[in-house]
């Protein structure tokens, strides 16, 4: 028989995983949308895709990803830091 404390921890872990998955999915969707908007801004009348070297696009994606994670988890990290975690 699982104790109540263990059940609460499992429930917290499961809910945390679901919440994190939703946040990551929404942030990825936002990043992809902003990338496509930027490409459309640079080439509004062209049907061809803009060539971006793989290195540069990877760096840009990493920057956008880090920014999204900072926005999503910044308050949580500050809260945990203020509690001494």
Q: What is the pLDDT of residue 15?
A: 92
Q: What is the pLDDT of residue 54?
A: 58
Residues of the chain with pLDDT under 70: 1, 43-57, 85
User: Domain span at residue 38?
Assistant: 4-82
- Count the residues in the chain: 85
**DSSP 8-state code for residue 1:** -
Q: What is the pLDDT of residue 3?
A: 87
Q: What is the pLDDT of residue 57?
A: 66
Query: Which spans in 1-85 are helix H?
Result: 4-42, 54-82
Q: What is the pLDDT of residue 4?
A: 87
Considering its fold, how many domains does the chain have in total? 1
Asked if residue 72 lies in contact with residue 27, where contact means CB atoms within 8 angstroms, the answer is yes
CA-nearest of 60, 71, 63 to 27 is 71
pTM of the model: 0.43
């Amino acid at each position: 028989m699982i104790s109540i404390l263990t059940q609460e921890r499992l429930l917290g872990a499961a809910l945390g995983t679901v919440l994190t998955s939703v946040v990551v999915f929404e942030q990825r969707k936002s990043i992809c949308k902003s990338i496509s908007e930027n490409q459309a801004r640079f080439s509004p009348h062209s049907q061809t895709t803009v060539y971006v070297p793989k290195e540069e696009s990877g760096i840009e994606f990493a920057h956008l990803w880090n920014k999204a994670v900072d926005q999503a988890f910044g308050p949580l990290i500050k809260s945990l830091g203020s509690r001494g975690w």
